[in-house]
Amino acid sequence: MLKATSFFVILILFFSCKTPENNSQSLISVIDQSLEFATQQSLRMAESLKDQPDKLPQTIDKNGMLVTCNSDWWVSGFFPGVLWYLYENSPSDSLKQWAENFTLRVEDQQYTTDNHDVGFMIFCSFGNGYRLTGNPEYKEVIHNASKSLITRFNPTIGCIRSWDYASWSAQWQYPVIIDNMMNLELLEWSAKTFNDTTLAM
Is 93 known to be catalytic? no
Which of 72, 108, 179, 196 is labelled catalytic?
A: 179
State CA 179 to chain mean position distance.
12
Residue 61 annotated as catalytic: no
The answer to whether residues 116 and 153 touch, using CB atoms and an 8 Å cutoff, is no
Of 105, 94, 103, give the one whose Cα is nearest residue 123: 103
Torsion sign, CA atoms 143, 51, 78, 68: positive
Task: Compute the distance between CA of residue 116 and CA of residue 86 in angstroms, rounded to an integer.
Answer: 26
Active site residues: 117, 179
